[in-house]
């Protein structure tokens, strides 16, 4: 049995940067907002330092998935298939699947007295700016001091009927967040398609 993936975005655009980053930070507890089929999840679990990962996804997809006719039921099935392999390959690591809207589920984690801070958070859920800013603020509260927060799809622009709509894209929310939180974060060099910050307070 092999992993089931239908795209290679993570391998092409993020893997090399993350490899260098993980050599420096060695996070143990990871939160992934937007897990899709689990390609980045797989890489994270392969890292020796990671002992627990929490994956939040609605598996409903966004407007871009609907426009492309992506079958999100099958996407979730592939994630579940891959989880079986993860649990076999990494029996000592804890894998938490949380299915639901990220704003609700992140708030639930914040309310829980049993959740300790995360060392690494990957924000790759909804591309809608309103959702991105909510995910970012809640994730920041869940992140421990000196923890790393990675935003995906910084240069992604929503398009429909050959028209591009920057105001419906993640960049404006990410720029807003990094401006408002500028005295509480440190920017880390990263490929332009991703923004990586470190929480300093």
Tokens representing 140 are 């920041």
- Of the chain, the percentage scoring pLDDT greater than 70 comes to 100
* pTM assigned to the model: 0.93
Look at residues 110, 86, 88, 113 and name the one whose alpha carbon lies nearest to residue 97. Answer: 86
Q: Which of 61-65, 85-89, 180-184 has the lowest mean pLDDT?
A: 61-65
* Residue 166 confidence class, pLDDT cut points 50, 70, 90: confident
**Per-residue pLDDT at 189:** 77
* Residue 159 confidence class, pLDDT cut points 50, 70, 90: confident
Q: Which residues contact 155 (CB under 8 A, 6 or more apart)?
A: 171, 192, 193
Tokens representing 55 are 């994956």
Q: Which of 97-106, 117-126, 181-190 has the lowest mean pLDDT?
A: 181-190
**Per-residue pLDDT at 54:** 98
Q: How many CA atoms lie within 13 A of 27 on its CB side?
A: 28
């Amino acid at each position: 049995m092999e992993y089931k993936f239908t795209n290679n975005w993570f391998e092409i655009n993020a893997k090399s940067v993350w490899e260098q980053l993980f050599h420096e930070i060695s996070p143990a507890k990871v939160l992934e907002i937007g897990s899709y089929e689990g390609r980045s999840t797989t890489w994270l679990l392969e890292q020796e330092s990671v002992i627990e990962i929490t994956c939040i996804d609605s598996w409903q997809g966004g407007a871009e998935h609907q426009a492309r006719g992506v079958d999100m039921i099958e996407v979730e099935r592939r994630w579940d298939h891959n989880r079986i392999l993860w649990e076999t390959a990494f029996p000592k690591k804890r894998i938490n699947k949380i299915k639901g809207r990220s704003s609700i589920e992140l708030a639930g984690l914040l309310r829980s007295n049993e959740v300790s801070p995360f060392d690494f958070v990957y924000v790759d859920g909804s591309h809608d700016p309103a959702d991105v800013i909510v995910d970012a603020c809640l994730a920041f509260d869940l992140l421990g001091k000196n923890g790393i927060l990675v935003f995906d799809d910084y240069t992604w622009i929503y398009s429909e009927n050959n028209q591009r709509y920057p105001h419906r894209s993640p960049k404006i929310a990410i720029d807003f967040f990094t401006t408002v939180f500028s005295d509480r974060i440190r920017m880390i060099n990263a490929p332009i398609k991703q923004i990586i910050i470190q929480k300093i307070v």
